[in-house]
Amino acid sequence: MAKTPHMEYLDFDVLAGIDNMQLLAKVVVEGFLLGLHRSPYRGFSVEFAEYRQYSPGDEIKHIDWKVFGKTDRYYIKQFEEETNLACYILLDASASMGFKSSETGLTKLQYGCCLTACLSYFMMRQRDATGLMVFDNQVRSVLPPRLRQTHMKHILAELEGCRPGGETDLAGPLHHLAEGLKRRGLIILISDLLDEPEKVLSALQHFRFQGHDIIVFHLMDNAELTFPYDTMTEFTDVENGQKTLVSPEGIRAAYMKELRGFLSRYEKGCADVKADYKLFDTAQPLELALSEYLFRRSRLN
């Protein structure tokens, strides 16, 4: 199936695997229980969403007379309901996210863009306003949560132009966003989390203190998780360019120990701040990893 413009990261094979599931917020947001108990009705009090044809019983004051003048048909303006969940997807686009160990595989950023596109499509389809923030050591772009049909195109266009940027600084941009949010909602962080865990967890605690529900998708390349090297190898730090020649046999045990501690610190720390945590191996097909997570989350609600 050929993909239309701005569809590079919208993988319909992934969507097919999660179509019968609901991504649920686990906390009460703005006084309403969202997710499975979503109201099917939209109001007329907030932001314009789309048009629909007039039906008997609709209030005449909501007819768009300009559209009537052009089409000779009655159309009603529909607006986003105040109870819609606001979902904020935070995508790490720092230099380390540009790493991949396989020539045919995806970089962590490409994998994250696919994940972002699928989640955005899914959330908006279940009537949740969705926004996007792309960052490295600073905020690079922000698309506020919207539910308009054209908003998905803006998100996909932003993802298509997304490239690895500067050094990693998760805490700074996260605190910046937390300070600016006026409405509680769902925070989805997509990152390799290659920063000091204490600083990152402090930023997540900032969101939690404000009443947000939090999901952390931790993306790592398979080589980062398994350290498959068996000959003298030169490693390059993608953020500062520093090169190091090492003997894998001499450091494998120490590396794997550090890795286990690193992953454990984030998993435990997320549990402490009541944030969902899911580790993704970028070698695993996204539809399998995402379906597994959404199924587990739906069983817990």
Q: Which domains does the chain have, with CATH numbers?
A: 12-23+84-221+275-299 (3.40.50.410), 48-79 (no CATH)
Task: Determine which of 2-11, 116-125, 165-174, 254-263 has the lowest per-residue pLDDT on average.
Answer: 2-11
The pLDDT value given to residue 232 = 78
Span 57-83, pLDDT tens digits: 566 776 778 877 878 777 766 554 444
Distance from C-alpha of 139 to C-alpha of 181, rounded to nearest angstrom: 14
- CA distance linking residue 77 with residue 72, whole number of Å: 16
- Give the pLDDT of residue 38: 39
pLDDT band for 24, please (50, 70, 90 cuts). Answer: very low
Looking at per-residue pLDDT, the higher value among 84 and 4 belongs to: 84
Mean residue pLDDT across the chain: 79
Q: Are 111 and 118 in contact (CB under 8 A)?
A: no
User: 187: closest CA among 299, 267, 270, 93?
Assistant: 270
- Report pTM: 0.75
Choice among 15-24, 117-126, 147-156 with the minimum mean pLDDT: 15-24
Flag whether pLDDT at 23 surpasses 70.
no
Residues in contact with 242: Cβ distance below 8 Å, sequence separation at least 6, in sequence order: 236
Geometric angle at alpha carbon 224, from 217 and 198, rounded to 5° = 55
